[in-house]
Amino acid sequence: MFLKSENLCKSYKTGDVVTHVLKDVNISIEKGEIAAILGPSGSGKSTFLNIIGGIDRQDSGKVVIDGVEISNMSDKELVEYRRNEVGFIFQFYNLVPNLTVKENIEVAVNISKNPLSIDDVLKAVSMEDKKYRFPRELSGGEQQRVSIARAIVKNPKLLLCDEPTGALDYETSLDILKLIENINKKFKTTILIITHNTALSAMASKIFKLRSGEVADQIENKNVMPAERIEW
């Protein structure tokens, strides 16, 4: 198993009120798989993804990625893990506004151990002709392509996508999903996608439904559909 969470728990305390956001979440994903997490707003999806990606910490439970337990790493080890093993794609791109497309990707290259070539990844996301533009000179879909390039240039083992198409129209969303699918095929990257959109989960071989911090359902999808055939 490539990714495994065991009895993962997380709560937040605001004032005297404790909210249990993750309650014994157990999830397993095989290497090279595309998995989806579905669930209503507030069900704990982002919290879960952030712990898997080493951005946040669990209260209890265990996370193992490719045979290495990350849940007991020191802060320093966790930074290395985040830099070298994980690519993140967010709903609102999170590009650095005063850096060009190329420079945004260079930031990731400079901190990673085995980066791919910037030109290759720009080609992979069809942005090679816009590498000297600034984020404000790009459409939302183009900005998301750049953020995908930035995530994959590190050649990460794991790509975590938090509502990657949440801010995009239908056609652009399909383009981005096709891109994510191609990355999975080309680099054998294990991919975990969070979405509100049940239709998107058709491209995942495993689907987890979160409800109030619990895995309410887990589906093995035997008929994975290519992104280009997904409709909603």
Ligand X SMILES: Nc1ncnc2c1ncn2[C@@H]1O[C@H](COP(=O)(O)OP(=O)(O)OP(=O)(O)O)[C@@H](O)[C@H]1O
Residues engaged in binding Mg ion (CB under 5 A): 46
The CA distance from 125 to 110, in Å, is 20
11 versus 172: smaller Cβ distance to ligand X: 11
If one asks whether residue 144 binds ligand X (CB under 6 A), the answer comes out as: no
Judged by CB under 6 A, the chain residues 15 through 54 that form the site for ligand X are 19, 21, 39, 41-47
34 touches 193 (CB < 8 A): yes
Q: How far is C-alpha 230 from the chain's CA centre?
A: 20
If one asks whether residue 132 binds ligand X (CB under 6 A), the answer comes out as: no
135 binds, among Mg ion, ligand X, none (CB under 5 to 8 A by kind): none
If one asks whether residue 61 binds ligand X (CB under 6 A), the answer comes out as: no
First and final CA of the chain: distance in angstroms? 32
How many residues at the interface with ligand X, by CB under 6 A?
12
The CA distance from 14 to 161, in Å, is 27
Output the smallest distance, CB 168 to Mg ion, in A: 16
Cα 129 to Cα 53, 81, 138, distances in angstroms:
31, 32, 12
14 binds, among Mg ion, ligand X, none (CB under 5 to 8 A by kind): ligand X
If one asks whether residue 5 binds ligand X (CB under 6 A), the answer comes out as: no
170 binds, among ligand X, Mg ion, none (CB under 5 to 8 A by kind): none
38 versus 101: smaller Cβ distance to Mg ion: 38
| Residue closest to Mg ion, measured at CB | 46
The CA distance from 67 to 73, in Å, is 13
Write down the H helix ranges in the chain. Answer: 45-52, 75-85, 101-110, 118-124, 140-152, 170-187
* Choices 12-20, 97-105, 127-135, 198-206 (CB under 6 A): range interacting with ligand X: 12-20
If one asks whether residue 72 binds ligand X (CB under 6 A), the answer comes out as: no
Q: Which residue has the tokens 């095929």?
A: 185
Q: Which of 1, 7, 12, 69 binds ligand X (CB under 6 A)?
A: 12
49 touches 192 (CB < 8 A): yes
28 versus 212: smaller Cβ distance to ligand X: 212
Per-residue tokens: 113: 């151990």
189 touches 156 (CB < 8 A): yes
Q: Provide the binding-site residues for ligand X, judged by CB under 6 A.
A: 12, 14, 19, 21, 39, 41-47
